Amino acid sequence: MRDFAKLRSLVLLAVAVSLVGCSSFSQAQKTPGSADGQHWWQSAVFYEVYPRSFADGNGDGIGDLKGIESKLDYLEQLGVDAIWITPCYPSPQVDFGYDVSDYENIDPTYGTLADFDRLVEAAKKHHIRIIMDFVINHTSDRHPWFLDSKSSRTSAHRDWYIWRDGRANRQPPNNWISGFGGSAWKFDPSTGQYYYHYFATAQPDLNWRNPAVENAMFDVTRFWYKHGVSGFRLDAVDLLLEDPKLHDNPILPGKDEMGSPNMLNKYNDKLPENHQVLRRLRSVADESDAVLVGETYTDSASELKEYYGAHNDEIQLPMDFMFCTVDKLSAPAFRKQIALAESTGGWPTYVIGNHDMSRSYVRYGDGKHNDQIAKLMAAMYLTLRGTPIMYYGEEIGMENNDPTRKEDVKDPMGITGWPKYKGRDGERTPMQWNGSANAGFTTGKPWLPVPSSAKEKNVESEWKDPNSILQFYRQLLMLHHRNVALRDGDYVALNQDDPNVLAYLRQYKKDAVLVALNMSGTAQQVSFNLSAEGFTSPKASTILTTLKHAPGDRIDQIALEPFAVYIAQVSP
Ligand code: GLC
Ligand code: CA
């Protein structure tokens, strides 16, 4: 079940001599000797950009496409291969772009279509691909399709949305609840029917049972492929189709943080029919060698597995949000989630944060060792098998800056959920570029406030500091691209009973990398036996660690400081 509010609450630097001094590299260098048949998106690191908050090019306090373009050098040097830009289409901005009123243009706040084309070209020169956000489940209530749909019961677009008569006594058609609080139905007095909206009332759901909707939406993807995008992140893709009979959902005990009764979304979430649409959407993507990334809120390995498609013909990168339900540092809990992702047989897609959940820096931090823990988390998800998706600012240890007064809240979820749920503004604050006022994000007044921690946590100062979170990310990204075992190797769980240290081997033929992560606040002594993996007298050589003194070449006695990261190449 998708539930941001719940997810939120659950939810000697490197000895890598060979890495030092490499400030930039070309795409070709990033994938030397890639295993046969690897797709570009498998060796890529994705980076989510929330355009309102990334960089402001014109001083109006809101980020824009020119701002993004001005930061391509940074993104390339960091080692990012693709940026996913959250919606920048024309929109009334009720849900900050997730309410689209025109799928084939750019909102003037962010620039023009010509700016977009220039961004794609410039990004290409930096070996960076652009992924757009496809808001596939719903449009804005100001979209011309909806305006026509709403105009009369017989309008050409009436059946493009989900209209139904109410029940007796002015009751909505059924008991479905909106993820943004309250009933998922809104009465329209002019035509006397209700329309369905899983999210805000300004976000009516499209009727994907209507082939005209499918055609129009598939054409939208073709439009952007022609403009050079390399794929889409599919927004709210679990919610595409609904039960045509509109059965009531089973009610569960208690209330959610938006104050609505808890509910099992049996009849409007992850219906089997969604997969038919995805297969057809994928065929269109395949014509352009494009990637589909899914906002897939799954509850089990089998649900996640289904998203890849029975013949790998649906979503290439369904995000594994079950991973994010591990809400504290716990070696056994992460081990279990990794095993679950591996058990699907698919190519995993790991994230530790995004614009809908509290920043990983605060979710996992203990308040005292947050920087170390941020490095530990990075070392985990950037060395696992699969494609990682970073969230802007995570690489500098950005923290949440939640509103403290209701009148400051911008997110519609925070407005409804206040004070229990303060919404998502806190994880969407401006990127921290330097220690100046407004963190160098804008010369104007930023649309959301910058936290005081930006004085130390910013790109400029961390770039210079070899011990910073940023430099640690940079080295991890280089390893991720250059190390064959990390890029293409199998995942082999090690020391599976260890309650404190998460350890695994990434093995590609004779190449192997050992990763040991102390998820506890106490020193740990670990010992590895790799004979089952064919290493009779293994020798380790450290490639990246946070340990003050890198251990010798033996793997039968490694001392790990609290929250330590130890990554070593192992030879047989
Ligand atoms: C997705 C987005 C979220 C948005 C919602 C409605 O979950 O990530 O930010 O509010 O869809 O479009
Ligand atoms: Ca701007």
Q: DSSP letters along 245-261, please?
A: T-PPPPEEEEE-TTSPE
Q: Say what percent of the chain tops pLDDT 70.
A: 94
Distance 230 CA to ligand 2 centre (A): 25
Average pLDDT across the chain, whole number: 94
**What pLDDT does residue 338 have?**
98
CB under 8 Å to 493, separation ≥6 — which residues?
335, 338, 339, 503, 504
Distance 308 CA to ligand 2 centre (A): 37
Answer yes or no: are the C-beta atoms of 500 and 518 closer than 8 Å.
Answer: yes
Most informative mutation of 101, 199, 391 for ligand 1 (most atoms within 8 A of CB): 199
**What pLDDT does residue 67 have?**
98
For residue 138, which atom of ligand 1 is closest to its CA? 12
562 in helix, strand or coil? coil
Answer yes or no: are the C-beta atoms of 538 and 530 closer than 8 Å.
Answer: yes
| Closest residue to atom 7 of ligand 1, CA basis | 236
> Looking at the domain covering 491-571, what would its CATH class be?
mainly beta
**What pLDDT does residue 2 have?**
58
Alpha-carbon distances, residue 229 vs 42, 82, 225 (angstroms): 17, 10, 5
Q: Say what percent of the chain tops pLDDT 90.
A: 92
Answer yes or no: are the C-beta atoms of 448 and 467 closer than 8 Å.
Answer: no
Distance 304 CA to ligand 1 centre (A): 19
441 lines ligand 1 (CB under 6 A): no
Distance, CA of 16 to CA of 20 (rounded, Å): 7
**pLDDT tens digits, residue range 349-383?**
999 999 999 999 999 999 999 999 999 999 999 99
Distance 179 CA to ligand 2 centre (A): 30
**What pLDDT does residue 572 have?**
87
CATH topology classification for 144-196: Oligo-1,6-glucosidase; domain 2 (3.90.400)
Give the pLDDT mean for 11-15. 32
Q: Which ligand is nearest to the CA of 94?
A: 1
- Strands 291-294 and 317-318, by their bridges, are parallel
**What pLDDT does residue 6 have?**
57
> Angle at the Cα of 78 (from 77 to 82), degrees rounded to 5?
100
Which residues lie near ion ligand 2 (Cβ < 5 Å)? 56, 58, 60, 62, 64
Predicted confidence (pLDDT) at residue 7 exceeds the cutoff of 70 = no
pLDDT tier at 3, thresholds 50, 70, 90? low
Most informative mutation of 178, 196, 235 for ligand 1 (most atoms within 8 A of CB): 235
**pLDDT tens digits, residue range 200-221?**
999 999 999 999 999 999 999 9
**pLDDT tens digits, residue range 89-148?**
999 999 999 999 999 999 999 999 999 999 999 999 999 999 999 999 999 999 999 999
**Residues annotated as catalytic (active site), given as ranges:** 235, 287
CB under 8 Å to 38, separation ≥6 — which residues?
31, 487, 488
Predicted confidence (pLDDT) at residue 419 exceeds the cutoff of 70 = yes
CB under 8 Å to 32, separation ≥6 — which residues?
482, 484
Q: In what side-by-side order are the strands of the sheet with 46-49?
A: 317-318, 291-294, 231-235, 129-135, 82-85, 46-49, 387-391, 349-351
107 lines ligand 1 (CB under 6 A): no
Predicted confidence (pLDDT) at residue 15 exceeds the cutoff of 60 = no
98 lines ligand 1 (CB under 6 A): yes
Give the pLDDT mean for 283-297. 98
Residues of the chain with CATH 2.60.40.1180: 491-571
**pLDDT tens digits, residue range 55-100?**
999 999 999 999 999 999 999 999 999 999 999 999 999 999 999 9
Higher pLDDT, 225 or 257: 225
Q: Which ligand is nearest to the CA of 233?
A: 1
Predicted confidence (pLDDT) at residue 32 exceeds the cutoff of 70 = no
What is the dihedral sign for C-alpha 41, 47, 50, 51?
negative
Predicted confidence (pLDDT) at residue 267 exceeds the cutoff of 60 = yes
Residue type for 523, please? A
CATH topology classification for 4-139+211-478: TIM Barrel (3.20.20)
Predicted confidence (pLDDT) at residue 9 exceeds the cutoff of 70 = no
Answer yes or no: are the C-beta atoms of 129 and 81 closer than 8 Å.
Answer: yes
**What pLDDT does residue 550 have?**
87
99 lines ligand 1 (CB under 6 A): no
Predicted confidence (pLDDT) at residue 559 exceeds the cutoff of 90 = yes
269 lines ligand 1 (CB under 6 A): no
Q: Where do runs of H (alpha helix) occur along 172-291?
A: 211-226, 274-286
For residue 180, which atom of ligand 1 is closest to its CA? 10
Residue type for 27, please? Q
**pLDDT tens digits, residue range 18-28?**
333 333 323 33
Residues of the chain with CATH 3.90.400.10: 144-196
**What pLDDT does residue 36 have?**
58
Residue type for 412, please? P
355 lines ligand 1 (CB under 6 A): yes
